[in-house]
Structure 1
Amino acid sequence: MSPIEPQKALVGKTAIVTGSSRGIGAGIAIELGRRGANVVINYTSPRGATAAQQVVKTLESGGSKVASVQANVAVVSDLQKLVDAALSISENKKIDILIHNAGSGDDCYLADMTEDFYKKQSDINLKAPIFLTHLCLPHLAQGGRIILLTSVSARLGVPQQTVYAATKAALESCCKVWATELGRKHGVTVNCVAPGPVATDMWWDSDPALLADFQPIIDSTPAAARVGEVADIVPVVLFLCSEESRWVTGSVLSASGGMTFIG
């Protein structure tokens, strides 16, 4: 049997990618489209709207159906917009791929922690994936894919990341639970991709003290002494969207260059 060409492998499938106007999310969305998928692009701010439009143009130029949706993933009522948009462009009225990429990486020392900071970050990083997955459940295609973008921070113990690291570790736990709950019932695989630092706006906007804390870890990264690039992460995510990943579920794939804590 001849292999399916990569650019045709996802034809007819529909994907939601949260936080997909820039950075890793945009890279994932564009590659999904290159492989034939129809894609829901998600953004929140006016700045995101401009960036999202460029992603839409790229996808449409390749022949994909695209829906661009302004939705604050921290607000449960907004999440329904993403589901409705996906169903509107889906050829079989199913959602085949759900990628939880949106996240808040704001930094805060424990001594400075506030309830507002905790709620804002945990709502985006943890509540949103839980409730968006819940809303998608009735529409998930048999053999669907759910991918959560987590972080090596879940295991590194870097200062200022109390909430960020905890929410990413919690997502990895959700992944294992959902793989069990959804595997036989829906034929769905659920996996995480855990990048290290990636050269996106969120990384460069981090507190300078956090960047300094990370630098020794970056310098000792086995694959190369650098932060990652979007192009390092996207192929790992796309593998988990593919038929070739059918026997991988409940897993956390590190896309960090082998980064480990050295403190």
Structure 2
Amino acid sequence: MSTVDGPKTLVESAVQEFGRLDIVVNNVAIAVNKPFEEQTLDDWDLLVNINGRATFLLTQQSLPYLTKGSGRIVNICSASSRGPPPLQTIYAGTKGMVDSFTKCWAKELPPKYGCTVNAVSPGPTETEGFLAAGEEAMRILQPTIDATPAAKRMGKPDEIAFAVGFLCEERASWVNGVHLAVNGGLHID
């Protein structure tokens, strides 16, 4: 997704299959959890390209095909962009980049494309990727999970999907520029 051809091919395939493009959800991401001193330029390039560049490119490639007047763009940020934990210097920074994209695009794109642009920021979520981070990462994360006010657990993918779905509904046509935190109150703006 971080190449010019990847997002272009995805968008063209979707338009060919469905005839139009109503919703863009920028959900591609990767995390590297290491002490700052151990993070490398290779880590930097990987995360910036996947988390930032892919979001930029997919959105840019989607705009000519986005349904005018009702299109939706939802960027998946992260609680880490607003309340970064240790070990996530680059990841939190790239998700902050996506947060800033959302703010800029929410002002710039709706007048041109008749769309809305919003963000969803999950907290720790029970995904295959998150659970594959290993025991050490989970040990470090446990105090954060224990501090979550709504419940001392990780979020579930369907809870995140519900928030994204809401922002894509026709009834959400007046919701633009929102950063919806879906993290059990872990980080409150």
TM-score under structure 1 length normalisation: 0.68
Does 2:43 correspond to 1:117?
Answer: yes
| Structure 2 counterparts to residues 1-263 of structure 1, below 5 A | 73-91=1-19, 94-142=20-68, 143-260=70-187
Instruction: Work out the CA distance in 2 between the residues paired with 1:103 and 1:257.
Output: 21
Indicate if the aligned counterparts of 2:2 and 2:57 stay in contact, CA closer than 8 A: no
The one-letter code matched in structure 2 to 1:254 is A
Name the structure 2 match of 1:32. Answer: none
Q: CA RMSD in A?
A: 1.4
| Greater Cα shift, 126-135 or 108-117 | 108-117
Structure with the higher fraction of residues in strand conformation: 1
The secondary structure found in structure 2 opposite 1:146 is strand
Segments of structure 2 that go 5 or more residues without pairing to the other structure are none
The secondary structure found in structure 2 opposite 1:95 is coil
Decide which structure has the larger Cα Rg and report it.
1
Instruction: Work out the CA distance in 1 between the residues paired with 2:136 and 2:61.
Output: 38
| Greater Cα shift, 227-236 or 212-221 | 212-221
Instruction: Work out the CA distance in 2 between the residues paired with 1:164 and 1:240.
Output: 24
Segments of structure 1 that go 5 or more residues without pairing to the other structure are 1-72
The one-letter code matched in structure 2 to 1:89 is E
Indicate if the aligned counterparts of 1:160 and 1:210 stay in contact, CA closer than 8 A: no
The secondary structure found in structure 1 opposite 2:120 is strand
Greater relative contact order (CA < 8 Å, ≥ 6 in sequence) = 2
Q: CA deviation at 1:212?
A: 2.4
TM-score under structure 2 length normalisation: 0.94
Q: CA deviation at 1:79?
A: 1.6
The one-letter code matched in structure 2 to 1:257 is G
The one-letter code matched in structure 2 to 1:110 is F
Q: CA deviation at 1:207?
A: 4.8
Q: CA deviation at 1:108?
A: 2.3
Structure 1 consecutive aligned stretches of length 4 or more whose deviation exceeds 4 Å: none
Indicate if the aligned counterparts of 1:104 and 1:121 stay in contact, CA closer than 8 A: yes
Deviations 1:104-161 (A, max 9, x none): 0221221012111110111010000101111111111112000011110112231110
Instruction: Work out the CA distance in 1 between the residues paired with 2:135 and 2:4.
Output: 33
Instruction: Work out the CA distance in 1 between the residues paired with 2:15 and 2:46.
Output: 29
Q: CA deviation at 1:260?
A: 3.1
Q: Percent of pairs identical after alignment? A: 36
Indicate if the aligned counterparts of 1:107 and 1:207 stay in contact, CA closer than 8 A: no
Q: CA deviation at 1:84?
A: 1.1
Q: CA deviation at 1:210?
A: 3.3
